[in-house]
C-alpha cells in the first residue's frame, strides 16, 4: 500500500509511485507480474493477506487499482478485462424496471451493451443530449438509477457539465457515472466535480501503447465498492496480471504523453480549419466549439481526439481514411501512434443510421486519434490524404 499523500504529492509523481512500492523482499523497483491462479493459505479459510484466487484478487491488479484510485482522487478502484466489462459490472447492479439516463452520443459498444443485452432483461434507457442539463433533469424518473455520461463524447467530442449534472442527479438521489476515457485523470477529475463513479477503458490513453485491453471503475463510496467488487468476482470479467502490468507501465508516462497529444491535436485542428474541402472541424480547443468555455473550466487540456467532415461526405471520408500513411486506418484510440477511422462504418456501426444522423454523427465524419509523432509529419500526411480525397474516383474502362 502506497503511503503517498494524494493531497500533497503532484499527479506526475503519483503516476509513477502510487501503489508501486519496491518489493520488500528484494528491492525490485517494478511491481512483479504475479502469474498465479491460486495462493497457499495459512490455515483452512485463512488466506494470506486476503489472496486466495486470482479471479478475486491478484497483487499486480491490486497495485494498479491503488495507482488508478490515486490518480482519479478516489478511495478505491476495480480492474476489469475491458472497458465494456467495467460497464457491464455497473449494469449488473440493476434489476428489471430500473432506468438509466444516458448520453445520445455514446461509444457504439456501450450503446450495443445497453440496447442489445440489458434491455432484454427489463432495464430501460433514455438517451438525451447530456450537454443540456435541463434535458437530463426532464429525463430522470423515479426508477432512474444512473445518469451515465461520456465527456468528451465519442465521437462528437461534446462536453457535459459534470458538476451541474451531478447537482441535478443528486437532488433526486441518483448516481452519476462518468466515462473519463477520452480526458483521462490528467485532464479531468470527475469525482472532484461530483461524479459517483468514473469509468475507463484502460485500453486507450491510460495503457497508451495499443497492446492491452482492460477497464476500470473508480469511486469513493465503500458500500458501492463492495457491491461492484462482488460483481467483479461473481461475473468474472477480470483482467490478467500481465495486462495490469502493461497498464501500470502506461500510467507512468500518462502526463508526458497527454501533453504531446493535446499540443499535436490543437495544431492539427487549426491547420485542418484552413484547408479547402474541410466542411467542419470538431475539437474542444477551438473557440467555436459549442462547449469551449466549459472545457476550459472543467479540463486541464483539450485531449488528443478530433473529428472533421469533408465536402463530398462518405466517399471523401473513406478516400481520406484509406490514403493516410502515418495515420493508421484502425479502430481504438489513445495510443502513441496516430489512428484514423470513419465512425459510421467502424466503431459506431452498431448504432442505427437514423439515430446516428439525428444526433449529428454524419456518415462522412472522420475521427482522428492524434498520436505523439512530430506534428509536421502528421500535417503532411493529412495534406496528401486530403489531396487524394479531392481527386475524382476513377471509372473502370468499358470492356472492349
Instruction: Enumerate the active-site residues.
Output: 55, 107, 179, 204
Give, to the nearest 10 degrees, the angle between helix 222-235 and helix 83-92. Answer: 110
Cell of 118: 440489458
Three-state SS letters, the chain: CCCCCCCCCCHHHHHHHCCCCCCCCCCCCCCCCCCCCECCEEECCEEECCECECCCCCHHHHHHHHHHHHHHCCCEEEEECCHHHHHHHHHHCCCCCCEEEEECCCCHHHHHHHHHHHHHHCCEEEEECCCCHHHHHHHCCCCEEEEEEECCCCCCCCCCCHHHHHHHHHHCCCEEEEECCCCHHHHCCHHHHCCCEEEEECCCCCCCCCCCCCEEEEECCHHHHHHHHHHHHHHCCCCCHHHHHHHHHHHCCHHHHHHHHHHHHHHHHHHHHCCCCEEEEECCCCCCCCCHHHHHHHCCCCCCEEEEEECCHHHHHHHHHHHCCCCEECCCCCCCCCEEECHHHCCCCCCCHHHHHHCCCCCCEEEEECCCCCHHHHHHHHHHHHHHHHCCCCCCCCCC
Cβ count near 245 (within 10 Å) = 21
C-alpha cell at 367: 475521427
Residue whose C-alpha cell is 459534470:
162
Amino acid at each position: 500500500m502506497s503511503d503517498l499523500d494524494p493531497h500533497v504529492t503532484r499527479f506526475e509523481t503519483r503516476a509513477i509511485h502510487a501503489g508501486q512500492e519496491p518489493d520488500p523482499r528484494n528491492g525490485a523497483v517494478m511491481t512483479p507480474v504475479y502469474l498465479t491462479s491460486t495462493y497457499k493459505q495459512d490455515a483452512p479459510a485463512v488466506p494470506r493477506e486476503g489472496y486466495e484466487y486470482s479471479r478475486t484478487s491478484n497483487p499486480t491488479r491490486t497495485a494498479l487499482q491503488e495507482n488508478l484510485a490515486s490518480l482519479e482522487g478516489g478511495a478505491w478502484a476495480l480492474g476489469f478485462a475491458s472497458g465494456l466489462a467495467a460497464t457491464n459490472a455497473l449494469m449488473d447492479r440493476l434489476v428489471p424496471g430500473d432506468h438509466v439516463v444516458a448520453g445520445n452520443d455514446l461509444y457504439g459498444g456501450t450503446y450495443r451493451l445497453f440496447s442489445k443485452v440489458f434491455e432484454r432483461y427489463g432495464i430501460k434507457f433514455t438517451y438525451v443530449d447530456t450537454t443540456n442539463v435541463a434535458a437530463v433533469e426532464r429525463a430522470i424518473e423515479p426508477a432512474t438509477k444512473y445518469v451515465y455520461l461520456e465527456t468528451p463524447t465519442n465521437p462528437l467530442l461534446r462536453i457535459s457539465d459534470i458538476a451541474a449534472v451531478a447537482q441535478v442527479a443528486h437532488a433526486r438521489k441518483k448516481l452519476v457515472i462518468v466515462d473519463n476515457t477520452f480526458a483521462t485523470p490528467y485532464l479531468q477529475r470527475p469525482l472532484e466535480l461530483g461524479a459517483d463513479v468514473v469509468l475507463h477503458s484502460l485500453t486507450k490513453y491510460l495503457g497508451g501503447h495499443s497492446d492491452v485491453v482492460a477497464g476500470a471503475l473508480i469511486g469513493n463510496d465503500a458500500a458501492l465498492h463492495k457491491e461492484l467488487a462482488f460483481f467483479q468476482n461473481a461475473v468474472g470479467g477480470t483482467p490478467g496480471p500481465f495486462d495490469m502490468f502493461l497498464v501500470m507501465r502506461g500510467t507512468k508516462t500518462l502526463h508526458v504523453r497527454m501533453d504531446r497529444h493535446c499540443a499535436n491535436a490543437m495544431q492539427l485542428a487549426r491547420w485542418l480549419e484552413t484547408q479547402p474541402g474541410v466542411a467542419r472541424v470538431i475539437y474542444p480547443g477551438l473557440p467555436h466549439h459549442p462547449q469551449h468555455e466549459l472545457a476550459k473550466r472543467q479540463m486541464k487540456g483539450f485531449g488528443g481526439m478530433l473529428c472533421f467532415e469533408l465536402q463530398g461526405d462518405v466517399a471523401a471520408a473513406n478516400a481520406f481514411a484509406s490514403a493516410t500513411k502515418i495515420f493508421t486506418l484502425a479502430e481504438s484510440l489513445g495510443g502513441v501512434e496516430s489512428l484514423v477511422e470513419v465512425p459510421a462504418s467502424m466503431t459506431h456501426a452498431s448504432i442505427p443510421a437514423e439515430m446516428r444522423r439525428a444526433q449529428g454523427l454524419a456518415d462522412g465524419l472522420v475521427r482522428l486519434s492524434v498520436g505523439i509523432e512530430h506534428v509536421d509529419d502528421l500535417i503532411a500526411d493529412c495534406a496528401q490524404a486530403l489531396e487524394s480525397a479531392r481527386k475524382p474516383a476513377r471509372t473502370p474502362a468499358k470492356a472492349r
